[in-house]
Amino acid sequence: MYATSETNKTIKNLALFDFDGTLCSKDSFTGFIFYALSKRHIVKQGLKILPWIQAYYLNFYPAHAMRAKLFRSMFRDTPAIELQRLGEEYAQELVSALSPEIFAQLQQHQLLGDQVVLVSASIDIYLAPLCKLLGIELICTETQVKNGMMTGYYSTPDCSSEQKKLRIHEQYPLKHYQRIYAYGNSSEDLDMLSLATHPFMVGEDRILPSLTPQKKLA
């Protein structure tokens, strides 16, 4: 588990951020495939699942299933320690791919003492080191390792849509927060946004939620 919830009596706000297309301006999962693997391997493995790739682009195969199939095809039987090293390197690169506007909002939440959580369908291999760099918490799709090798399978369900909502509920007592902010960019974020008192959808909402310091009781 990467997310941890703090249990104290201080009422604070919770800020939930999607990653790809929201905090990050690019598709980090596809980017990691091209960062970590040779073009020859990508083409070879991609050809094996070409019918599913075509079906996905024709909207006949769902995104959550495509991500799992792609991960299994590309990373099965990869040494875990090597992939984790590449994930740490890739995380450093992702910092420069963050949306300036959304990242500034995230930093403002941190300055105000809000609890900030990245909630993403992307994988822990690079999101865990990224969140460590940013000083935020993480809920994401977690990958499975056995005997030092990537199995090619997830150890959790793909963290999208309803799974985002379920895992947030599992790890954060929402009634303890004064305000809940959520930032997303697609239909896979709607369940998460439904939890928020202040939801923001990239591409639809123009003005980011106004953040003001919390008034203290006398």
State the DSSP string of 167-204.
HHHHH--GGGEEEEEEEE-SGGGHHHHTT-SEEEETTT
Grade residue 5 by pLDDT with cuts at 50, 70 and 90.
very low
Residue type, 49: I
State the DSSP code for 114: -
Q: CA torsion sign, 64 to 105 to 124 to 1?
A: negative
Q: What is the pLDDT of residue 216?
A: 55
Average pLDDT value for residue range 32-53: 96
Bridge-based pairing of strands 177-184 and 12-17 is: parallel
How many whole angstroms separate alpha carbon 46 and alpha carbon 168? Answer: 33
Q: Tokens 């009634």 belong to which residue?
A: 175
Task: Note the helical H segments in the chain.
Answer: 28-36, 39-48, 50-57, 63-75, 80-94, 100-111, 124-134, 162-171, 190-193
User: For residue 98, what are its two tokens?
Assistant: 């963050």
Angle (nearest 5°) at CA 154 between 152 and 156: 175
Is the pLDDT at 6 greater than 50? The verdict is no
Residue 111 tokens read as 């300055």
Q: Which of 195, 99, 96 is nearest to 139 (CA)?
A: 195
Lowest mean pLDDT among 4-18, 83-97, 115-129, 136-150: 4-18
pLDDT score of 51 more than 50:
yes
Q: Are the CB atoms for 16 and 196 separated by under 8 Å?
A: yes
Q: Determine contact, residues 42/32, Cβ cutoff 8 Å.
A: no
Domains, the chain: 12-201 (3.40.50.1000)
Average confidence (pLDDT) over 101-130: 98
Q: What is the DSSP track for 53-72?
A: HHHHHTTSS-HHHHHHHHHH
Beta pairing class for 143-146 and 149-154: antiparallel
Band of residue 4 on the pLDDT scale cut at 50, 70, 90 = very low
